[in-house]
Amino acid sequence: MATGEVGELVTYARTELLAQVRQAVERVWLASPFLSRPVAEEIVAAVTESSAVERRLLTALVPGSVQTRVLDPAGLDALLDAGFELSSVPNLHAKLSLIDSSWGLVGSGNLTNAGLGGKSYANVELGVTLDAAQIATAAEYFAAWWDDADRFTLASSLNMRRCRGCIHRWANLAGTARRSGSVYRRVSRAFLPRTN
């Protein structure tokens, strides 16, 4: 069980992350390439108890993640409905949680049941809580990634839901070979209108 102490190694972050989100005053910044609907709903429930105005999720909206259901469009919709801004970096692998300027966690766990643990099945994950200087530095990284990311809007979410088959077809264009940049660009043009 996490205690929130700086430098603490955390194996199951769900309880501590949700507690910190509930206490947020200014910002909730989350970075995770994968997101499940149940975890998104837990985050929504926690953030509605907070007074945080700045709510952001940085993820990796790529065809394969949606196709294999490790990135759930319904989870993205839930966050959008709760006032989160969403952006996508196709090669994002980082998992980072920053709550206000007072709490941070970096680790291996995605925002999924398996990644955060504490439910019936959990991956073997490890994270570490950050000190004040590390939180500030991590926030600079997050802000830079955010500035370079493709913005995801409610309209693009609705478009994605209506055209889920399109994502599968585009993903299949790449076959079993590498997911090419051109496939991502076609999906991003269809689903991620640039707003910045």
What is the band of 105 on the pLDDT scale with cuts at 50, 70, 90? very high
pLDDT, tens digit, 9 for 90 and up, residues 20-39: 999 999 999 999 999 999 99
98: tokens are 């920053």
Q: What is the CA radius of gyration of the chain?
A: 16
Rounded to an integer, the average pLDDT of 66-93 is 91
First to last CA, the chain: 40
Among residues 157, 58, 61, the alpha carbon closest in space to that of 98 is found at: 58
| pLDDT tens figures, 175-196 | 333 344 444 444 444 444 444 4
Tell me, what's the pLDDT at 170? 38
Instruction: Find out whether 75 and 37 touch, Cβ atoms under 8 Å.
Output: yes
Considering the domain 9-152, what is its CATH architecture? Answer: 2-Layer Sandwich (3.30)
Element (H, E) at 114: helix 113-116
Domain range summary for the chain, segments of one domain joined by +: 9-152
The percentage of the chain sitting over the pLDDT mark of 90, rounded to a whole number, equals 59
